Structure 1
């Protein structure tokens, strides 16, 4: 019960506004009339006028000008007691509308003009008051500024006098301090230069020592591998494994040698060994050894060498490292089905060597750093950053020059020129004996795996391996081939495509890959309803919490650092598969489908809720098929089959049958439907088939199950 009359009238007015918005005009009008009566009886003339305006508006809305006139005349009387310009304008405008509805157009026009006149008068009054206010503010500000200016002038004069005194003292102090500063700067720079020299020496010694430390164990690794490869009784599979080990051991030895060369260049210990020989034959033999590697990637590898009939002067070791590094680099960064052109020519006592490859190219920013030591491109983050730096330093060491040009997403060209005449080199740099030219260079890349995308055993869990390194991909495939059905991809983009197509049970992916890396792959698959349930293990050659955090943030289920133990990786894969199987067992024991209990991710829960909705709508329809099921959830039959198999361990058809049987069991326990009708009521067309399926699932007939109530 509201005792305060003012509060009561305000509540009535508010309720009237609510009814007005709901277009309940009659109810609104009654509420406004009650509010008007209370306000007027308590001499609240302004509030009464507002309520009367609402009644007049409603009357006009209901095409009742007579009632409107009555309240508008009431407002005129009230507004004379408590005048309000806004109320008066609203009253006159409503009078105009009332006369318009009554057909008295001349009076309607008269009141429109009157309302307009009052509005204009109010605007003029408000403008005049605003102008006066601004003038007052301006006058006050101007006076304040004049006073502040006089104060500032006085303070400035005082500061000027003080500044002149301080300047003299400061000048003397500054001169003294500058002398001390320059002295200490000189001493500090001298100390810094000495430290930098010491650091260069330590760094050079470190590279030299660590390179030599690597060479001994690498030799011990290579020797038994080479002996094993010579064993004719060795199986082809084991030979392939040893060949992979040998190839990567040679690669590591090559990197160690490059570190040694850079260290020697820094120390000034590397000396030119200029000998006489046929340089075009030598480069031809070097390039020939890369034909197989290029053909394996289906790269068109063209070598154009203008034959040279005379011998020239060059350092065999330096030229070999320059040429092999540039060709290896071109093959590495040329995509499958790409093209490499290598042009060699000797003119005016200079060797001209050009190599051009198609591919992603090099950006302007990367071009500025491409020859810096240990620099790696931002996109792929591959390699050591040693090869091209060594090439540039060896070219300049050989008194030549090298440049690179690139068109992003099209091609890259390396051009180098090296002098090959005797006069270009010092006498102590020339070795007397002649270079023995090779017939060919041994090809070391003999064993390459195929992509292994064939499907072998559909009953095994499906494992997708995404790895750009061919040897690692082969080893991973070989590790899991006996227990898993394997599909492989060489980059993240291909991995995503295969995952969406096949819906594997688990994925192992490298992080650092071209085109699309492992983090991007994980994020994309975890955000897709088709693949959100798939466990993903990320591999990386980089250790540290930051890289683990990348894996966690993208939604990866586990993370392992290279080099890794195959036993640990096998155990991790098996554990993730086991966790999925436990979820499937939990489903099989539940009578009611609970999406939250089955789902691992939010997307999985959303998917199972969608499945639940479809079942609620369609399950009892005998015609409801797997085709209908897949179409309704927006997946292909195979995708739905793989998704359900992963989440609950059942195919789509098995899942529908399982849900129908669970519903039948519930009906048998809780209702009094005729047992012969239960099967038909849950979607089975054939009672005998229903009874057979029920007994296979619950180890008893429907009748026996019902009698257990």
Structure 2
């Protein structure tokens, strides 16, 4: 309490002394005659009243100027001009201030009054900055730095650096601003000007605040505020309040920020700081904008703009205008937003305020985009990004921190030197602090060790979870793919068997028997591969070596692909020495390696491309090379091709099916034989597999009577598919089958061939194109196909007006309920899972086509009116028929309305309109229009609404005999009889 009273006493004493000083000066000025002493007293009074009562300060400055002019003292005249200009600049009378500064500068150059010249240059720089003429302001301040260095005016140099920092800050050049503020702080500290050093530190705090370094900003603001309190410097304290408000806003503390801003408004109100009040209102508007309270934000931005316009402060006008433009964009008032942001960009370009210009471009771009002016939006966005890239880069932050760190080091060196002299007095305290620090360090180390252990444990757990999740995903993909591999051959096996069960008197033809054999061998191969993998995992798979001719085995295995290569017109080259390589080896495992590598080469090569197989033996090592000129493998995927379950293309549109275990099994088998397998590939040029197996050549037994070195080849020719004549002229419904598996396509076609016309497509993209041109009555599609899968195909068919009416049956090996729901949600009319019953497929096809025909019959029933919701199941088709009926209802009474007018109104070509209406109603556009008019005439005749002649004209017939003829053809009686 005693300390508080002492402080209060000192404050009262200082205030009393200050007031007594002013009273003493005022008494002296009244008693002084007009001479240099009176001018000095008047200037002192102007300085005393400058911040507390600027109007009175201006009065004393003008009186000083008149007195100096009367006694013809040019130095005093310059001082009076500079003082008056300073007061006018504080009161935002910028143009008048510049006029007085220029006059003072002109006199100083004639009389070589150095101090007055420096003050005038600084004043011109500051005032031009307040007006927004940043480039001109920078020019005057740099001129003063050079001049002040010549005359060793360190205070003038420091002031110029501080004001240059303000200019760079306004432009968003934070690197240069930090450097300038730091130079000013160093100089003011050296010359002992603590008040100005406090201003510099407050500005450094401002830069840290803009860079997002909240803790550093608060530290500098606090340090500068302690100096401002010492000198009772109200402008500085108000600046700190505004800066702290900005920091609290950045920290997400809006209420604390508003409290600081309100205090700053009060302080600036006392000082008459219109420019600063405008800035504070801008900041308050930002708070309400953050809180999405747009009405309050706009209100405060308008206050800021009004004050800025009052003092012609271009920088604040630009900022307030941009803030209003952004806020009006949030309120979707696009014209207002465009007006204010455009104004902001125009002003910012003139004064070099790059940050405001950048924000203006961004807002204008968003406004143009909202107005659908995409070209202008794109150009404005480019301007925004160009400015952003030049302003915000890592170099600015790093260099700013480096400069500030350098300054901090210099300050710390001075503090260390000062503390050295007091070292003995503080020895006990330092020892105590050292012990406390050691205890804290030990505790911190223990906490750190514990945190590291917990973090490592958590990271190991997360990594294990990720690996388990990845393994689960691989397994899920594997089982999904392997089920697809099983379901397709099982469907092809079950189909002929089910047909034989339903028709026991019939026999299976040879094509069906061969198809069953091929697909049963495929299932057996898959099962064997899975068993081999299981045995490898358990370590139970062993080599079963027998003596034999290795080259003959390789020739036989490679030749089994001859017919496949011939069917695809591929250049298949086998290069195996025509010799005997007698050795002990596991024939089965070697053949599996050859089959899997060659299968992979054929699988990922297009027709007409090249596949090569080469085998050599040298230095006790068998070398097998398999190459192709196919798609190739991406460099990023090469390390994973031998991983189990991995597939280079795992999408549902992959061109070749597979389970992802063939190459993995090959690698395991090669390693079981103590060999290696490697792969190299280049995208678009092909893939090259190399297998190296150590093999010891042994002497061939003499007891062997016959060694058959002739090559065997698999000359089996794949069954010829069902072939239709090039043009099927039967009057039957047309079906399209989209299936990439040839056996499956032929199986489905065989079930439906007798009752329908069939067209084929091998992938989704080709099927979509054919559907638009051939217009089938129904589409049967597989789910997993190359280029476009069944889901995407169905989605595109159902969202295209030309094809939306076509029923779609989707066939897939994915049997999950969510897969079925996903398929039906895309618009599929039926969903069958493999293996499926041929009888069920036939029933589904017949039901869907019959349903479409009943709808047509419903439409053509002369006693019914057209009802689109009963005609179609697709919302797109219903919408189209609604448009047609609305058009007919509106125009049927116009005799000149015909098919060409229908085409124009519906925005469709003649072919498109005819095809669509034929598909939906089995009537041409001309027939639909005529029948609509006849139905409407029948309704009116039934109601006896008018005479036959008048009704004929009402429904659009201008030829009575033609009307009577058409009516009788449709209803069997004449209009009058009806």
Query: What is the TM-score with the length of structure 1 in the denominator?
Result: 0.62
What is the deviation of 1:286?
A: 2.3
Q: Of 292, 297, 307, which aligns to 2:563?
A: 292
Shift of 1:492: 0.8
Which of 489, 498, 514 aligns to 1:243? It is 514
The equivalent of 1:407 in structure 2 is 682
Matches of 1:580 and 1:465, distance apart in 2? 19
Show the counterpart of 2:640: 369
Q: State the partner residue of 1:459.
A: 731
* 1:528 corresponds to 2:803: no
- Aligned to 1:253, which of 524, 527, 534? 524
Residue 403 (structure 2) aligns with: none
Query: 2:454 & 2:868 partners in 1: Cα distance?
Result: 78
User: Where does residue 326 of structure 1 map in the other structure?
Assistant: 597
C-alpha distance 340-701 of structure 1, shift in aligned 2 (>3 A): farther
Q: Does 1:343 align with 2:617?
A: no
Distance 1:179 1:667 in 2: 91
Counterpart among 547, 553, 567 of residue 819 in structure 2? 547
SS of equivalent residue, structure 2 residue 640: coil
Contact 1:467/1:491 (8 A) holds in 2 = yes
Query: CA separation of 1:180/1:389 partners in 2, compared to 1, >3 Å: closer, same or farther?
Result: closer
CA distance, structure 2, for counterparts of residue 528 and residue 160 of structure 1: 81
Count of residue pairs the alignment pairs up: 534
Query: Do residues 303 (structure 1) and 573 (structure 2) align?
Result: yes
CA distance in 2, matches of 1:303, 1:614: 67
Preserved contact between residue 613 and residue 625 of structure 2 (Cα < 8 Å): yes
Q: Which one is further off, 631-640 or 471-480? A: 631-640
Partner of 1:647: 920
Give the CA deviation at 1:508: 1.6
| Distance of 1:178 and 1:329 partners within structure 2 | 48
Of residues 538, 544, 548 in structure 2, which corresponds to 1:267?
538
The match for 1:694 is 967
Could you tell me which residue of structure 1 aligns to residue 938 of structure 2? 665
Separation in 2 of the partners of 1:508 and 1:267? 44
2:831 equivalent in structure 1: 559
User: Structure 1 residues 416, 170: closer, same or farther in 2, change over 3 A?
Assistant: same
CA gap 1:160/1:292 in 2 versus in 1, 3 angstroms: farther
1:629/1:332 Cα in 2 relative to 1: closer, same or farther (>3 Å)? farther
Q: 1:289 to 1:173 in 2, by over 3 A?
A: closer
Pair 1:323–1:699, CA change in 2 (3 A): same
Return the offset for 1:489.
1.5
Structure 2 SS opposite 1:486: strand
Alignment of 1:18-167 (within 5 A): 135-140=236-241, 165=439
Structure 1 spans left out of the alignment, 5+ residues:
1-119, 146-155, 197-202
1:383 corresponds to which of 648, 658, 664: 658
Aligned match of 1:608 in 874, 881, 903?
A: 881
CA contact (8 A) 2:563 2:714 kept: no
Preserved contact between residue 619 and residue 683 of structure 1 (Cα < 8 Å):
no
Distance verdict in 2 for CA 1:307–1:529, change over 3 Å: same
Shift of 1:529: 1.1
Distance 1:133 1:495 in 2: 81
Contact 1:622 1:685 (C-alpha < 8 Å) held by counterparts: no
Q: Distance in 1 between matches of 2:607 and 2:813?
A: 24
Distance 1:558 1:680 in 2: 46
2:627 maps to which of 356, 359, 384: 356
Offset of 1:249 from its aligned partner? 0.6
Where do 1:475-514 residues align within 5 Å?
Answer: 475-514=747-786
Compare 538-547 and 494-503 and name the one that shifted more. 538-547
Instruction: Flag the 1:234–1:583 CA change in 2: closer, same or farther, 3 A.
Output: closer
The alpha carbon displacement at 1:435 in A equals 8.6
2:948–2:975 contact (8 Å) kept in structure 1:
no
Structure-2 residue corresponding to 1:518: 790
Q: Write the distance in 1 (CA, Å) between the matches of 2:240 and 2:754.
A: 95
The CA distance in 2 between the partners of 1:537 and 1:133, in whole Å, is: 83
Shift of 1:301: 3.2
Alignment equivalent of 1:394, drawn from 662, 665, 669: 669
Distance 2:542 2:571 in 1: 33
Contact 1:680 1:687 in 2 (8 A): no
Give distance in 1, aligned partners of 2:737 and 2:761. Answer: 6
Supply the distance in 1 between the matched residues of 2:949 and 2:244 (Cα, whole angstroms): 103
- Describe the shift of the 1:280–1:161 C-alpha distance in structure 2 as closer, same or farther (beyond 3 A): same
Q: Distance in 2 between matches of 1:485 and 1:254?
A: 36
- 1:206-225 to structure 2, matched below 5 A, reads none
Structure 2 alignment gaps of length 5 or more: 1-126, 135-169, 171-198, 200-232, 248-429, 469-474
**Alpha carbons of structure 1 residues 667 and 371: separation in structure 2 relative to 1, 3 Å:** same
**Given that residues 358 and 412 in structure 1 are in contact (C-alpha distance below 8 angstroms), is that contact kept between their aligned partners in structure 2?**
yes
Q: Which one has the bigger helix percentage? A: 2
Query: Cα–Cα, structure 1 residues 664 and 175, in superposed 2: closer, same or farther, change >3 Å?
Result: closer
In structure 2, relative to structure 1, the CA distance for the partners of 1:399 and 1:479 (3 Å cut) is same
Q: Indicate conservation of the 8 Å contact 2:738/2:763, yes or no.
A: yes
On the 8 A contact 2:555/2:711 being kept in 1, the answer is: no
**TM superposition shift of 1:391:** 1.3
The farther-off stretch of 337-346 and 492-501 is 337-346
* Aligned 8 A contact 1:506 1:577 in 2: yes
Contact 1:644 1:652 (C-alpha < 8 Å) held by counterparts: yes
Measure how far apart 1:320 and its partner are: 1.1
- Deviation track 1:174-228 (CA, whole Å, cap 9, x = no partner) reads 999999999x99xx99xx9xxx9xxxxxx9xxx9xx9xxx9xxx9xx99x99xx9
CA drift at 1:402: 2.0
C-alpha contact (below 8 Å) 1:403/1:416 kept by paired residues: yes
Shift of 1:631: 8.0
1:13-40 residue CA offsets vs partner (Å, 9 max, x unmatched)? xxxxxxxxxxxxxxxxxxxxxxxxxxxx
**C-alpha distance in 2 between matches for 1:163 and 1:453:** 97
Q: Please give the per-residue CA displacement for 1:262-320, whole angstroms capped at 9, x wherever unaligned.
A: 23333333333445544333323323222222233x33132131524242434322221
Q: Return the alpha-carbon distance in structure 1 between the equivalents of residues 892 and 626 of structure 2.
A: 66
Q: Structure 1 CA distance, aligned partners of 2:451 and 2:895?
A: 99
The two structures, once aligned, show a CA RMSD in angstroms of 5.1
Question: Structure 2: how far apart are the matches of 1:487 and 1:547?
Answer: 27
Aligned to 2:692: 417
**Greater displacement, 487-496 / 585-594:** 585-594
CA distance in 1, matches of 2:764, 2:842: 22
Residue 368 of structure 1: how far off its partner (Å):
2.8
CA distance in 2, matches of 1:578, 1:400: 63
CA distance in 2, matches of 1:531, 1:420: 62
User: Do 1:289 and 1:442's aligned partners in 2 also have CA atoms closer than 8 Å?
Assistant: yes
Equivalent residues of 1:277, 1:435 under 8 A apart: no
- Residue deviations 1:597-636, cap 9 Å, x none? 4343332234324534664688678898878866875667
